[in-house]
Amino acid sequence: MIPMPTPSDPALVRVRMDLAYDGTDYKGWATQPGLPTVQGALEDGLAMIIRRPVRTVVAGRTDAGVHARGQVVHFDLTEAEWNAVTRNPDEAGPASTLVRRLSGALSRERGALVVTGASLAPEGFDARFSALWRSYRYAISDSSETRDPLNRRSTYWHREPLDAELMDAEAKAVLGLHDFLTFCKPREGATTIRELQDFGFIRDGQSGLITAYLQADAFCHNMVRALVAAVVQVGEGRHPAGWVSERLEAMVRDSQTRLAPPHALVLEHVEYPDVDSDPRALAFRAAGTRARRTVV
């Protein structure tokens, strides 16, 4: 049970922070003792500025090696801590000052982790539970002509040619609200029901690269990489068209559930309700997301 605040407790403000990172050298988002992680690096930087441990809540945990362009976190500070971020009257407000000071504290990351923005969060905001959807992309090279050594840390070099049109049709066949148990690593007490809102593959006419794009209300552990790997197996001719839908309906995670390599995956964007049209939308969304979903 969460203790109720007392009149002597300091008032808290919630801060939203936007991040981008190259996940190559990190062991994923979540803090792990003795290992480099994105959360660990960020919270170390915040502790230097706020002068106490600051716990962050992330919109979507990323696996080891996975990148992000539009990650979102929140954390809570006292009003005094927020105002103290700006140390003299000549500085800008706390939000821009926090970005500048944290960028300095994160210089040890050599550009792998960048804070792209900070602001006081609207009432009811929760980086994880208030999100409407998240989107990812996954880049694939399936021929020597499309190999670019400068992009090798963010592109999957597949050995065999792929049928991008077949893969696109296979991906679109599993859109909608389903139990994605086949493509998820279940967490105790958590549901694997998700609404896959967009999933497709397209080959760029100039570069020749194939890009997968995915959007869902949320993704469970390993879901993106497992879905991409399944569709790739159809695209290379290992399984017939319709196999991914059959796997989805089977609802069984077994040796046929494979994972695409993590380094080609990028969290692109996290979308939240528009508080200008409804100031209560964030809190309502968070409450609804916390409720256990069922297929309808």
Read off the pLDDT of residues 40-51 as tens digits, 9 standing for 90 and up. 999 999 999 999
Rounded distance between C-alpha atoms, residue 9 and residue 67, angstroms:
38
For residue 189, the model assigns a pLDDT of 78
* Percentage above 70 pLDDT, the chain: 94
294 pLDDT higher than 60: no
182 pLDDT higher than 60: yes
Name which of 131-135, 236-240, 250-254 the model is least confident about.
250-254
148 as an active site residue: the answer is no
**Mean model confidence pLDDT for the chain:** 93
Looking at 22, 63, 163, 168, which residue is catalytic? 63
For residue 89, the model assigns a pLDDT of 66
4 pLDDT higher than 60: no
Burial status of residue 288 (CB atoms within 10 A of its CB: 0-12, 13-18, 19 or more): exposed
136 pLDDT higher than 90: yes
DSSP for 180-223, written as a single string = -GGG----TT---EEEEEEEEEEE-TTT--EEEEEEES---TTH
pLDDT band at 9 (very low <50, low <70, confident <90, very high): low
286 pLDDT higher than 50: yes
84 pLDDT higher than 50: yes
pLDDT band at 216 (very low <50, low <70, confident <90, very high): very high
Global pTM? 0.92
How wide is the angle at C-alpha 62 spanned by C-alphas 125 and 72, nearest 5°? 25
For residue 292, the model assigns a pLDDT of 57
Contact 271, 132 (CB under 8 A): yes
